[in-house]
């Protein structure tokens, strides 16, 4: 039996470039014999963390919304793949909010060991994802048993769904998924 892989897409556009890549990663992971799940933050009710820190004692958030179920899925996965469009040289606000809401996992028992990041942007400069990658690495560094493994950056795509016609990026995403 393969790994349990959770691919979290943070774009709010259903046919976004990053969501299309996320589906391709799942396809590659499944073809490699893994149990892979696509989870979209679109249409999820995810409130901001209030910073009450009650979760550090209870390992549960006091806010009752979709973030609780998502955090449970994260906790029970072997591999995490966060997928985000790059807005203003940073990860999407939806992803950052979800990362903050996973504070109940800190100091608790979690299964994930490998964390990856996949991102798209209109800008294709290789430095474009640096701040977003650093944000993901910062989150991962709070989990002693986990490690940031790799980032796949697909730049130069702007229009919704444009990436589907970029076979090079689609192949990279598929192979990325196969190699998780």
Residue keyed to tokens 């944000």 = 135
Q: Residue 118's domain is classified under what CATH number?
A: 3.40.50.360
Instruction: Write out pLDDT tens, residues 2-38.
Output: 999 999 999 998 789 999 999 999 999 999 999 999 9
| CA gap 26, 6 in Å, rounded | 9
Instruction: Write out pLDDT tens, residues 122-160.
Output: 999 999 999 999 999 999 999 999 999 999 999 999 998
The pLDDT of residue 13 is 87
Q: Which residues contact 19 (CB under 8 A, 6 or more apart)?
A: 9, 11, 13, 40, 42, 83
The pLDDT of residue 89 is 95
Average pLDDT, the chain: 96
The pLDDT of residue 106 is 93
% of the chain with per-residue pLDDT over 70: 100
The pLDDT of residue 14 is 78
Per the structure, the complete domain to which residue 16 belongs is given by 4-178
What HEC string does the chain produce? CCCEEEEEECCCCCCCHHHHHHHHHHHHHHHCCCEEEEEECCCCCCCCCCCCCCHHHHCCCCCCCHHHHHHHHHHCCCEEEEEEECECCECCHHHHHHHHHCHHHCCCCCCCCEEEEEEEECCCCCCCCHHHHHHHHHHHCCCCCCEEEEEEEEECCCCCCHHHHCHHHHHHHHHHHHCC
The radius of gyration computed from the CA coordinates of the chain, to the nearest angstrom, equals 16
The pLDDT of residue 74 is 98
Q: Is the predicted pLDDT of residue 1 greater than 80, yes or no? A: no
This prediction has a pTM of 0.97
The pLDDT of residue 15 is 87
What's the total number of domains in the chain?
Answer: 1
Give the pLDDT band of residue 171 (cuts 50, 70, 90): very high
Q: Is the predicted pLDDT of residue 94 greater than 80, yes or no? A: yes
Q: List the beta bridge partners of residue 80.
A: 6, 115
Cβ-contact 11, 85 below 8 angstroms: yes
């Amino acid at each position: 039996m393969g790994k349990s892989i959770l691919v979290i897409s943070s774009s709010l556009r259903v046919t976004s470039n990053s969501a299309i890549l996320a589906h391709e990663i799942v396809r590659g992971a499944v073809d490699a014999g893994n149990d892979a799940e696509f989870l979209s933050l679109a249409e999820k009710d995810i409130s901001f963390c209030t910073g009450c820190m009650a979760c550090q004692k209870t390992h549960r958030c006091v806010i009752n919304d979709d973030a609780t179920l998502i955090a449970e899925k994260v906790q029970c996965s072997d591999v995490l793949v966060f997928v985000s469009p790059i807005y203003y040289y940073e990860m999407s606000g939806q992803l950052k909010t979800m990362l903050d809401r996973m504070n109940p996992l800190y100091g608790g028992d979690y299964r994930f060991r490998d964390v990856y990041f996949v991102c798209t942007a209109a800008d294709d400069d290789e430095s474009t994802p640096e701040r977003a990658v650093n944000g993901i690495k910062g989150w991962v560094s709070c989990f002693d048993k986990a490690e940031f493994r790799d980032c796949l950056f697909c730049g130069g795509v702007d229009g919704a769904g444009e990436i589907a016609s970029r076979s090079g990026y689609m192949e990279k995403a598929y192979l990325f998924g196969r190699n998780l």
